[in-house]
């Protein structure tokens, strides 16, 4: 029975990892670099949500406020930094994103301190499902995550701008000679990436604590999930996030809470060695 509890916790953790991984894989697929600022964008979302929750005690308002604030930050990052570096190597952009990450963390640390803040959530009686305690908050958070994922996939696969994003991810030059404006696509991409990390940040904040380092700690599992799922594959990122989340939790009795993150390291290394294109990735010709 205790394993069912671990699986339940793993799904919650996996949704957080999956949302962050989806943001990373979208940016990698379209803007062509690994965005190391994704973790700190997530932290920013956690803080934005915390203040909204303190003011409203509404999950919906919290989610929307976090999305608005983090998407705006994400867009600002694009216009202030990444747009100016367009055309540079992926390594240059990666290093720039690390700089942006440190800047966000520093601003959060200076503004709100390095102490741990918590969402003041009222305790509620858990449901008992098949002998397993299920927290109503967990269910609500899972629902929010699924709605966010459904909305993100809806944007990607059912709207004109989503098709344009996927077209740019496939072939940016062909997209341009198809009349697609890259800057419009990029702006939409960064808004979407910000929204996804915002919800991940709110979920992580509600499940644990809010502190300037929480996003940095989730960054590695998120990168591992993006690679495991097949870099550039949105569905792969979410599926791999869930698998990693559950695997991490199930490993806790064996390796302890502190070292469960090592599972992500191990999975990332194994995938890179044995299946570099991941679960859903495409084989790419190299010449």
Q: Is 269 in the site for another protein (CB under 8 A)?
A: no
Q: Tell the smallest beta-carbon distance from residue 180 to another protein (Å).
A: 5
Q: Is 282 in the site for another protein (CB under 8 A)?
A: yes
Residue span binding another protein (CB under 8 A) among the ranges 76-84, 107-115, 163-171, 267-275? 163-171
- DSSP letter string over 27-85? HHHHH-S--TTHHHHHHHHHHHHHHHHHHH--HHHHHHHHHHHHHHHHHHHIIIIITTT
Q: Is 182 in the site for another protein (CB under 8 A)?
A: yes
Tell me, by CB under 8 A, how many residues bind another protein.
19
- Between 18 and 182, name the residue whose CB sits nearer to another protein: 182
Q: Is 164 in the site for another protein (CB under 8 A)?
A: yes
Q: Which two tokens stand for residue 270?
A: 């194994």
- DSSP letter string over 146-207? HHHHHHHHHHHHHSHHHHHHHHHHH-HHHHHTTT--HHHHHHHHHHHHHHHHHHHHHHHHHH
Q: Is 159 in the site for another protein (CB under 8 A)?
A: no
Residue span binding another protein (CB under 8 A) among the ranges 10-18, 88-96, 97-105, 176-184? 176-184
Q: What phi-psi label fits residue 196: left (phi over 0), alpha (psi between -120 and 50 degrees) or beta?
A: alpha
Q: Tell the smallest beta-carbon distance from residue 171 to another protein (Å).
A: 5
Q: Is 179 in the site for another protein (CB under 8 A)?
A: yes
Q: Is 287 in the site for another protein (CB under 8 A)?
A: no
User: What CA–CA distance (Å, rounded) separates 234 from 165?
Assistant: 12
Q: Which stretches of the chain bind another protein, using CB under 8 A? A: 160, 163-164, 166-167, 169-171, 173-182, 282
């Amino acid at each position: 029975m205790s394993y069912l509890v671990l699986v339940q916790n793993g799904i919650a953790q996996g949704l957080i990892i999956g949302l962050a991984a989806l943001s990373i894989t979208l940016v990698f697929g379209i803007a062509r670099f690994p965005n190391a600022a994704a973790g700190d964008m997530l932290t920013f979302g956690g803080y934005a949500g915390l203040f909204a929750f303190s003011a409203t005690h509404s999950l919906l308002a919290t989610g929307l406020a976090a999305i608005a604030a983090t998407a705006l930050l994400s867009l600002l990052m694009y216009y202030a930094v990444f747009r100016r570096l367009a055309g540079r190597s992926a390594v240059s952009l990666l290093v720039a994103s690390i700089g942006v990450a440190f800047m966000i963390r520093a601003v959060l640390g200076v503004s709100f301190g390095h102490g741990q803040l918590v969402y003041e959530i009222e305790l509620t009686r858990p449901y008992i499902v098949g002998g397993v305690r299920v927290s109503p908050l967990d269910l609500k958070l899972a629902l929010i995550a699924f709605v966010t994922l459904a909305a993100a996939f809806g944007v990607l696969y059912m709207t004109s701008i989503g098709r344009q994003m996927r077209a740019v991810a496939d072939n940016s030059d062909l997209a341009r000679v198809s009349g697609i404006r890259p800057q419009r696509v990029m702006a939409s991409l960064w808004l979407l990436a910000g929204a996804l990390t915002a919800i991940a940040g709110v979920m992580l904040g509600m499940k644990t604590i809010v502190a300037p380092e929480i996003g940095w700690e989730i960054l590695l599992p998120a990168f591992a999930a993006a690679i495991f799922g097949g870099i550039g594959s949105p569905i792969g990122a979410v599926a791999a996030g869930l698998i990693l989340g559950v695997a991490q939790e199930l490993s806790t009795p064996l390796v302890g809470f502190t070292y469960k993150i090592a599972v992500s390291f191990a999975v990332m290394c194994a995938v890179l060695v044995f299946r570099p294109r991941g679960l859903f990735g495409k084989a790419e010709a190299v010449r």
